[in-house]
Amino acid sequence: MKKRKFTLREEVRCEIYRLLAQCYYAPDENIFETFKNLMELSGQNPGNDVRDPVDDDFTSIIVDHARLFVGPYQILAPPYGSIYMENTGMIMGESTIEAVNRYEESGLNIVIKEVPDHIAIELEFMYFLIFHEIEQAKNHNLERASHFQAKQSEFLDNHLGRWVLAFADRIMENAETNFYRSLALFTRKFIGDDLKSLSKIDKDFIPYSSVFTHKKPSSTGINI
């Protein structure tokens, strides 16, 4: 795979994770545009694998978001990893602490207003890792680029990938809007495909040794 093609692929992955995370926060007036951009970037065709949410109005999406992810009485599709990874039925469990440790180990030092293993936070963490992988590769710091790529595989294998499919199933079972059903279907497919792609990279080749063949400069890339 040539350098430019590889970089473009990673840039697309990066932006998809960013847009996908936005779709799981409380909806605002830009939610339809965000979803449209997500579909266009991924090459999905709403109406085939993913349904077109065009029939949903903004109020319906707000109400469905609250029903699925907020409550107040029952949360139909809890957006927290610990609910699916642990048997306690509680948030802020050991798996949540493990997620926070992953963030800190990778240099992500921000004040998180949501519960740290909220689906949007974990998707944004993947965006963070891919962004820094790309930046390090562009600066010819291939060791650091491979480091961030390995972190992606590790986080999907040990955390996000372990619960996101069950979470998406809960959305599809309980959503009343095409928007959230479509979002769940897309999430399942995209994360599943990304898991397979990163697994193939891990098993078959080290991409930065074969794709990026430029001589490493004396001054390495970004300090994380």
Start-to-end Cα distance in the chain:
27
Residue 32 located in a structural domain: yes
**Which of 36, 123, 133 shows the shortest CA–CA distance to 81?**
123
**Which of 158, 127, 149, 136 shows the shortest CA–CA distance to 207?**
149
**Residue 9 is part of which domain span?**
3-79+117-210
Residue 102 located in a structural domain: no
DSSP helix/strand/coil, 21: helix
Q: Is 157 exposed, middle or buried (0-12, 13-18, 19+ CB in 10 A)?
A: middle
Considering only 10-14, 18-22, 56-60, 119-123, which range has the smallest mean pLDDT?
A: 56-60
CA 48 to chain centre: 22
Residue 185, domain CATH: 1.10.3480.10
Residue 162 located in a structural domain: yes
Residue 214 confidence (pLDDT) above 60: no
Residue 159 confidence (pLDDT) above 80: yes
**Which of 74, 67, 73, 81 shows the shortest CA–CA distance to 27?**
67
Residue 218 located in a structural domain: no
Digit-coded pLDDT (tens) for 52-105: 665 689 999 999 999 999 988 899 999 999 999 997 778 888 898 899 999 989
Residue 48 located in a structural domain: yes
Residue 217 located in a structural domain: no
**Residue 160 in contact with residue 118, Cβ under 8 Å?**
no
pLDDT at 47: 46
Within 8 A by CB and 6+ apart from 139, the residues are 217, 220, 221, 222
- This prediction has a pTM of 0.86
Residue 131 located in a structural domain: yes
Query: Given pLDDT bands bounded at 50, 70 and 90, which one contains residue 168?
Result: very high
Residue 190 located in a structural domain: yes
Total domains present in the chain: 1
